[in-house]
Structures are given as structure tokens and as C-alpha cells.
């Protein structure tokens, strides 16, 4: 989901800050207190073949002490029209939380000097975001069941909160090979070095290193298309925080994690973000294409236990579904891709436009502390796929401490 191999801390402090203007609308359901706020990211521009992979600091976010109940997004143009994936491919968008010392919130030009990134609850240090999806954004359910919420707006004393957005979008209008562009094949971008000037070896044929911000994928000769301004429109569903809400923690697993399952220290996990799926043999593909499936697995421990409230996998085109298993082999979640079969936004033919989600009956699926969880990510490998991902995003409600049965607050130790 995150850009570039996510040299997060090194990159976040060096990037130029962009502050969005206030463009928001709010709807309130007075009966149940649910608020739905729709906002726009800062404007970014794309023309045929071009790549946006930008970080925006100080984006608008609902204010106050709240419980987030859903987070949805899509790319729109300046008139608010939904942009289909076959024109602008949304590789990923992610939203991260920052802690800012009190007294500097209004001086947003200093965000990149004073802000501290706040991780989710684990386990990959390379994936610190609270919210984020990719091409599947429009048809993936993100709502959190009644009674639960992701607690926001209750920072430690002396701090305020800020928010950071990363948008990675690729304009494929007129592209010679749209699939090559969206899979970031290096040959389609004519690059031999990444954005940091490091040589790209011959064994790396595609992925985030080749489709960085400002890059350009090859378009057909003579094709002309206008440069246009775009936005990420994001909608946050939330309620004001109250003692009856059960807080949930965000966990992100990456099937490329290279640590042994016995190691539960978040900061020591080495998640590679992406991987390559090599094609099966021509004979195997000809004999039974549906049996050409590449499987990659990971076994990792959840640092703390609790009730599983929500789970969803993240995959790219070629994905055939991903399963999350408990230590005893029980299936905790099956998450399958939804592919489009039309031309309209949200149903683009051949694109992965959604992922199915899991909503266990609250309290019915319990994960023990340090329980070993296994992820299996499946991709069709009738053909090679580059830069694919195999994540699981889960929400877990931990048992509330006896000494504090009502409120859950951020531990300063969780700060970077």
C-alpha cells in the first residue's frame, strides 16, 4: 500500500508539505448520532502515462474525540465525477496519524520537523497506516459494527493530532500496455534507477521502485490527452466518543514478512511490501489454467489477544483470494477479490474492484495472546504478475483493563 519500499521515517521528514484547503461536507443522523463527513485531498495533476505518488501533510479530518466507524475513498475530477480505473489507476491510498507538540499545530510548515508518526498496533513497521486500500476501494465494505470504533482525537497531554495522506495513482490513458503500467513493469517506465538514484537490478522486473512520483509509463505514439486536476475524495463515518464504545486496534499483516513466527516485536518485523508471482509453465497453463495458482504463506503471532471484529485482505489484479487461519487451523476469514465486467467507475472490466470482508458475530471469534496466525495469499499465475501484495487488515477488540473499564487512551509508548 505504501509507496517506494516505504523508507517512512527517512522520507516523511524530507518531503515538501502540502496543506489542503477546507473542502468538506457533513451529514448527521440525529437519531443514532452517526456523522458522515466527506472531504477532498489536495489537488494533484495527471496526464497520460504520468504517475502521482505524493504525500500530503495536514489533511482535513473530523475533529474532536471520536470513534471512527468507516473510511471510504475514490478518485474524482474537479467537477466531482468518479474517475474509472482504466483512466486513472488507484494503486493505493493510505492515511497515517501524526502526534504534534501543542503550540505548533497552526504552524504546519514545521510539521516535517516536529511531527511524530504514530503506528497502528502492528505488526509491520513498514505499514504504519490506520486506513488505506487500493483499486478495490469502491466495492470494499469498511464499516465497523455498532458499539465498536477506532478511537481518534484523544492524544497524550501536550500533543495534538495531525494526519498524513499518501496517494499513488497512475494515468493509463493511451498506455501501450495498461497492465504493464499498473503492475509497474520497469520496461514500461524506461527506468534503470529508482527515485533515490539506486540502480535497479535485472532481477527486479517490476514494482514500486519503477513507478515513483513523476515517473511516466509509455503511451501509444501520437496519443494526446489533456492534463487534468484530480482529488482523492474520502468519507469518514464516525460517532462522538462515549463510554459505551468498545475500542478496536488496527493490525496489518504482510505475507512477505521475513521474521520467524516466534518473534513478536513489531519493530523487528521485516515486511517487504510487495512480491513477484512468476508464471506457471505453458504446459500447465494449457492443461488446466485454473490449477495455475501461486500460494504464499506467513505465520505470525498477534502480540495481544482479543475478539476479531473485522478482517479483509488486500490483493492486486491476478489475486485469487486470501485466507486467515487461527493456530488450530480454524478459518478466521476468507477474503476474495471482486472483478469488474463493465466500463463504469467501480465495475471496470478486468480490474480488481473490491474485496469481500469478514464480520464475525461480535465475541464469537477470539484470538489468544501470542496465538500464531497463518495467512495464505493466492494469485493466478497463468501469467507473471509484478509488484503484487498480500496483506491482511484486521480489527481486534482487546479486553478492557479492570482498572479502566470505560476509557481507552493512547499510551505514550506507542509513539515513534
Residues of the chain with CATH 2.60.120.230: 248-414
Q: What pairing do the DSSP bridges indicate for beta strands 366-367 and 306-314?
A: antiparallel
**Are the CB atoms for 315 and 379 separated by under 8 Å?**
yes
Q: Which residues of the chain have pLDDT under 50?
A: 1-22, 261-267, 402-416
Residue 413 DSSP code: G
Cell of 284: 500447465
pLDDT in tens, 95-121: 999 998 887 655 555 566 678 889 999
**Are the CB atoms for 387 and 184 separated by under 8 Å?**
yes
Collapsed DSSP state (helix, strand, coil) of residue 238: strand
Beta strand extents in 269-318 (DSSP E only): 275-277, 293-301, 306-314
- For residue 108, list its beta bridge partners: none
Helix extents (H) in 137-281 = 178-182, 186-189
Rounded CA-CA distance 105/123 in Å is 29
CA 2 to chain centre: 7
Predicted local distance difference test score (pLDDT) of residue 399: 72
Collapsed DSSP state (helix, strand, coil) of residue 9: helix
**Are the CB atoms for 310 and 359 separated by under 8 Å?**
yes
Distances (CA, A) of 257 to 19, 44, 203, 222, 305: 34, 32, 20, 44, 20
Cell of 384: 507473471
CATH topology of domain 248-414: Jelly Rolls (2.60.120)
Collapsed DSSP state (helix, strand, coil) of residue 10: helix
Amino acid at each position: 500500500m505504501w509507496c517506494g519500499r516505504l523508507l517512512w521515517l527517512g522520507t516523511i521528514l524530507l518531503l515538501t508539505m502540502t496543506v489542503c484547503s477546507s473542502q468538506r461536507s457533513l451529514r448527521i443522523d440525529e437519531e443514532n448520532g452517526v456523522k458522515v463527513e466527506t472531504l477532498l485531498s489536495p489537488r494533484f495533476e495527471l496526464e497520460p502515462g504520468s504517475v502521482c505518488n505524493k504525500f500530503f501533510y495536514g489533511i482535513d479530518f473530523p475533529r474532536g474525540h471520536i470513534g471512527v466507524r468507516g473510511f471510504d475513498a475514490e478518485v474524482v475530477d474537479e467537477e466531482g465525477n468518479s474517475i474509472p480505473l482504466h483512466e486513472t489507476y488507484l494503486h493505493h491510498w493510505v492515511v497515517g496519524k501524526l502526534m504534534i507538540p501543542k503550540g505548533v499545530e497552526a504552524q504546519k510548515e514545521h510539521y516535517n520537523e516536529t511531527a511524530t508518526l504514530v503506528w497502528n498496533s502492528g505488526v509491520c513497521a513498514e505499514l504504519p497506516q490506520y486506513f488505506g486500500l487500493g483499486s478495490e476501494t469502491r466495492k470494499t465494505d469498511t464499516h465497523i459494527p455498532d458499539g465498536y470504533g477506532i478511537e481518534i482525537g484523544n492524544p497524550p497531554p501536550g500533543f495534538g493530532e495531525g494526519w498524513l495522506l499518501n496517494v499513488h495513482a497512475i494515468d493509463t490513458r493511451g498506455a501501450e500496455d495498461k497492465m504493464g503500467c499498473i503492475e509497474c513493469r520497469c520496461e514500461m517506465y524506461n527506468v534503470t534507477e529508482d527515485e533515490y538514484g539506486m540502480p535497479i537490478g535485472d532481477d527486479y522486473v517490476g514494482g514500486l521502485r519503477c513507478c515513483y512520483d513523476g515517473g511516466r509509463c509509455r503511451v501509444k505514439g501520437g496519443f494526446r490527452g489533456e492534463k487534468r486536476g484530480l482529488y482523492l475524495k474520502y468519507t469518514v463515518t464516525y460517532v462522538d466518543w462515549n463510554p459505551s464504545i468498545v475500542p478496536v486496534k488496527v493490525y496489518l499483516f504482510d505475507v512477505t514478512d521475513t521474521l520467524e513466527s516466534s518473534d513478536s516485536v513489531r519493530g523487528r518485523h521485516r515486511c517487504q511490501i510487495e512480491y513477484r508471482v512468476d508464471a506457471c509453465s505453458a504446459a500447465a497453463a494449457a492443461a488446466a489454467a485454473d490449477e495455475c495458482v501461486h500460494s504464499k504463506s506467513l505465520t505470525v503471532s498477534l502480540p495481544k489477544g482479543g475478539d476479531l471484529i473485522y478482517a479483509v485482505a488486500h490483493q492486486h489484479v491476478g489475486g485469487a483470494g486470501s485466507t486467515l487461519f487461527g493456530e488450530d487451523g480454524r478459518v478466521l476469514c476468507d477474503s476474495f477479490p471482486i472483478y469488474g465486467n463493465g466500463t463504469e467507475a467501480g465495475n471496470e472490466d478486468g480490474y480488481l474492484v473490491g474485496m469481500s470482508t469478514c464480520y464475525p458475530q461480535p465475541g464469537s471469534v477470539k484470538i489468544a495472546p501470542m496465538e500464531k496466525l497463518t495467512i495464505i495469499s493466492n494469485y493466478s499465475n497463468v501469467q507473471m504478475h509484478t509488484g503484487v501484495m498480500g496483506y491482511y487488515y484486521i480489527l481486534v477488540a482487546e479486553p478492557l483493563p479492570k482498572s479502566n473499564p470505560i476509557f481507552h487512551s493512547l499510551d505514550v509508548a506507542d509513539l515513534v
